[in-house]
Amino acid sequence: MKGFLELGKILGIKIEIHWTFALLLIWIGLVEFENSGNLEKVIISQGLILVLMACVVLHELGHALMARKFNIKTNSIILLPIGGVATLDEIPKKPKQELLIALAGPTVNIIITLI
């Protein structure tokens, strides 16, 4: 996709990041540096953003793996500054499958929170 950088594949699913995500890191870095003037705090806040994005990837993988269970392929997981999107090949035919795929993402977040 245009404007996206491929980070690699997890379980055969392409992980892509939009270039505007770099702006988010720069912006957070500048704001933190202006507030604290401390480079260490800048690195910590940017690290937190990356950890947050890793959680978003896991959340989207939750959707993707549940979809895979119903034989629905996920083309890619894309990361935007506002969050992530798992692009499924098709919409599940059964409402119950759609519900389970929708619930799989937040379930991952609950598990991460418990850990």
Q: Which is nearer to Zn ion, 17 or 56 (CB)?
A: 56
In degrees and rounded to multiples of 5, residue 19 shows phi and psi of -60, -30
Residues 54-113, interacting with Zn ion (CB under 5 A): 105
Cβ at position 100, least distance to Zn ion in Å:
12
The one catalytic residue in 6, 60, 90, 98 is 60
Q: Is 70 exposed, middle or buried (0-12, 13-18, 19+ CB in 10 A)?
A: middle
Q: Which is nearer to Zn ion, 47 or 83 (CB)?
A: 83
Active site residues: 60
